[in-house]
């Protein structure tokens, strides 16, 4: 048991440092079969249904009949809750239909399709340095803004299978650590874009974020803010909640405690250029609760008007990690 735990943690550490080998890029969009198995909420307490402000609405562990399935870095769920879109840090994109059980809880995914993001030349991206997509948001016109790290940049895709157009990012975008770029990305109804760096900051105890004001020709005027952090935890995703506030996801990992994730929230009034956003903790996910390398978050309204939070994990193409999709209801 101790030996297996050691190797599990060691593999997580290697993966968190980007040590996984990418599969070869795929040139063709194609259907895939997604196999979903039910994910327990709390291993040692089968009847548990709540942690702090989050109510369990189901979870699945996912595999598929494709070597390109995995590494999911961000997630978008359609407002009606019927379809999911995700991107991978190996440059893949995924779409699927969301299936529910009779109680309206998450049951699985079906009708999956997978493809490879393309570069400015219209060809599928092949190298890890180019393919490391970490954040995405659907814009008001239906296009997608995608953030990449290692070679830090923003590209806009009309469709995820199409050829992108480069978008000028913040002035500081190139100063970010290679494996610690913009992972948190969302947009507001007025066209503004919000981005937060995973590891770059100019003040102790903060990560830098940016507010992008729409400008002529599809560009943005970027102004920065600070996002307050605590030791070990770094922001990996952000989503706009139905009430206009924001949810963020923060992740930590070490050899002793393994993976931990904080689900956070902050009011839009905090989002001011030059200010510091100080989010509140909604829940801390750590073993024995369902958790893995969670990197993506999305928010929708449920059938009763409740706020639903969707979390997706990046397995780093490591057989000892999992692709998890978790669904929670935000308690009032």
CA-CA distances (angstroms) from residue 300 to 16, 263, 304, 314, 328? Answer: 29, 15, 11, 21, 11
Quick one: residue 179, left, alpha or beta (phi over 0 = left, psi -120 to 50 = alpha)?
A: alpha
pLDDT for 119? 97
- C-alpha 269/C-alpha 260 separation (Å) is 28
pLDDT for 25? 53
With a pLDDT cut of 90, the percent of the chain lying above it is 89
Torsions phi, psi for 190 (to 5 deg) = -80, 5
Q: Does domain 2-330 have CATH number 2.120.10?
A: yes
Confidence band of 33 (pLDDT split at 50, 70, 90):
very high
pLDDT for 5? 38
Confidence band of 255 (pLDDT split at 50, 70, 90):
confident
Check: pTM over 0.75? Answer yes or no: yes
Is 90 exceeded by the pLDDT of residue 15? Answer: no
Is 80 exceeded by the pLDDT of residue 193? Answer: yes
Confidence band of 235 (pLDDT split at 50, 70, 90):
very high
Is 50 exceeded by the pLDDT of residue 17? Answer: no
pLDDT tens-place string over residues 38-66 = 999 999 999 999 999 999 999 999 999 99
pLDDT for 128? 87
Is 90 exceeded by the pLDDT of residue 175? Answer: yes
CA-CA distances (angstroms) from residue 307 to 19, 241, 246, 327? Answer: 36, 8, 12, 11
- The answer to whether 245 and 267 are in contact (CB under 8 A) is yes
pLDDT for 71? 97
Confidence band of 28 (pLDDT split at 50, 70, 90):
confident
Is 70 exceeded by the pLDDT of residue 233? Answer: yes
């Amino acid at each position: 048991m101790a030996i297996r735990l050691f190797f599990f943690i060691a593999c997580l550490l290697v993966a968190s440092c980007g040590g996984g080998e990418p599969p070869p890029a795929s040139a063709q969009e194609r259907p895939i079969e997604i196999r979903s198995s039910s994910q327990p909420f709390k291993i040692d307490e089968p009847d548990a249904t709540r942690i702090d402000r989050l109510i369990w609405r189901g979870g699945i562990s996912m595999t598929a009949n494709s070597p390109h399935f995995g590494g999911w870095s961000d997630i978008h769920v359609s407002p009606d809750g019927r379809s999911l879109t995700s991107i991978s840090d190996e440059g893949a994109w995924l779409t699927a239909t969301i299936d529910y059980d009779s109680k309206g809880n998450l049951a699985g995914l079906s009708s999956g399709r997978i493809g490879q993001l393309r570069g400015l030349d219209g060809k599928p991206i092949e190298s890890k340095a180019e393919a490391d997509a970490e954040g995405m948001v659907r814009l008001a016109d239906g296009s997608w803004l995608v953030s990449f790290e290692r070679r830090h940049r923003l590209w806009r895709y009309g469709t995820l299978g199409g050829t992108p157009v480069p978008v000028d990012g913040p002035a500081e975008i190139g100063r970010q650590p290679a494996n610690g770029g913009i992972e948190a990305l969302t947009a507001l109804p007025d066209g503004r874009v919000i981005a937060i760096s995973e590891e770059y900051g100019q003040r102790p105890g903060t990560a830098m974020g940016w507010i992008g004001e729409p400008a002529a020709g599809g560009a943005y005027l970027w102004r920065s803010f600070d996002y307050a952090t605590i030791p070990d935890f770094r922001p990996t995703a952000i989503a706009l909640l139905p009430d206009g506030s924001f949810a963020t996801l923060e992740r930590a990992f070490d050899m002793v405690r393994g993976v931990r994730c904080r689900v956070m929230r902050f009011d839009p009034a905090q989002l001011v250029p030059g200010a510091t956003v100080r989010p509140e903790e909604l829940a801390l996910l750590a073993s024995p609760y369902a958790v893995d390398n969670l990197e993506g978050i999305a928010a929708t309204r449920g059938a009763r008007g409740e706020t639903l939070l969707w979390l997706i994990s990046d397995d780093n193409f490591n057989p000892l990690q999992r692709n998890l999709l978790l669904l929670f209801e935000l308690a009032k």
